[in-house]
Amino acid sequence: MGLNYKGLSFKTRWTTLSGIREVYEEAGIPPTPHPVENVFYSVPALLDTSVTPTLAISQSFNIEKYLDEKFPNNPLWSVAPPNANSEDTKQILAYLEGISQYLQGTKDPRFKTLFTLVIPEVPKILQEVDIPYFRETRTRWYNKPFDAIAPKNKNQALDEVKDVFDKLAKFMDEYREKPFDPKDPLDHPWVLGDVVSWADFALAGMFKWVELSNSEIWEEIKTWNNGRWVRLMGETAQWI
Ligand SMILES: N[C@@H](CCC(=O)N[C@@H](CS)C(=O)NCC(=O)O)C(=O)O
């Protein structure tokens, strides 16, 4: 999404989920720290072949920071004013860090309940070759049989997720100092209010995963918070 937003041309190398490791080891792409796996490789990664030797970067935040340094137009990360010590910059970065904590489930661990609702449905959209890898890894990560990852009470789990999204929406509105108005075509659902940032792409990427894996949950989410999340998806679709 970052490359598209900046209007950069690129080639995509497709791989299977279980084949990421082989591709990355061959290309010298660094692993991603993981709480359970000793060695873990994740998408996306970027190979900048315009420099010698080719530069390999993994993890979306690292990629976005690198892209901003090299191509400052349409900033993704450095949306804050250029003076890194200014109070404004510090506040924006602290706020974005808060959003990131929501997504990682460190700000409100109940956000992760969404993952437990989606993960059981993911094998349906995977290629046959990836299903054993997906089931084995998620069984290890959740430390329970794959078929026991889904919450026992789905409605209660969904209420929990909704509550966290309500808090996230409130957090975002407080930053903007006015509620998002989906009826106003000039009001954008961006995390920072007026300008797109990596945080919007992080949210959109997660929603896309939910939409593809568990469309029933996505249909629910669409109705939450005045349609804010569906507007976010609509407005970011041009860069996906
Ligand atoms: N911190 C990484 C996380 C990326 C991540 O977890 N990617 C998932 C897919 S969205 C992945 O590559 N999983 C590989 C696997 O499950 O083996 C980032 O922001 O890029």
pTM: 0.92
Interval 198-224: pLDDT, tens: 889 999 999 999 999 999 999 999 999
Q: Is the CB of 60 under 6 A from ligand 1?
A: yes
Closest CA to 67 of 147, 2, 156, 121: 2
- Dihedral class, residue 224 (left if φ above 0, else alpha if ψ from -120 to 50, else beta): beta
Domains observed in the chain: 2-70 (3.40.30.10), 87-239 (1.20.1050.10)
Given a cut of 60, whether residue 82 has pLDDT beyond it is no
Closest CA to 203 of 169, 179, 163: 169
SS3 call for 139 = helix
Indicate the pLDDT class of residue 133, thresholds 50, 70 and 90: very high
Closest CA to 151 of 137, 164, 141, 161: 161
Cα(95) to ligand 1 centroid in Å equals 23
Q: Is the CB of 18 under 6 A from ligand 1?
A: no
Closest CA to 76 of 4, 28, 142: 4
SS3 call for 44 = coil
Given a cut of 70, whether residue 48 has pLDDT beyond it is yes
Substitution candidate for ligand 1 out of 20, 22, 42 with most atoms within 8 A of CB: 42
Residue owning the nearest CA to atom 15 of ligand 1: 42
Closest CA to 167 of 220, 234, 107, 90: 107
Q: Phi and psi of 53, rounded to 5°?
A: -70, 160
Rounded CA separation 201/218 (Å): 17
Substitution candidate for ligand 1 out of 38, 43, 57, 240 with most atoms within 8 A of CB: 43
- Which alpha helices (H) appear in the chain, and where do they start and end? 2-5, 20-27, 60-70, 87-104, 113-118, 131-142, 154-176, 198-213, 215-222, 228-236
Rounded CA separation 224/228 (Å): 7
Rounded CA separation 201/236 (Å): 7
Per-residue model confidence (pLDDT) at position 195? 86
Per-residue model confidence (pLDDT) at position 50? 94
Atom of ligand 1 nearest to the CA of 40: 17
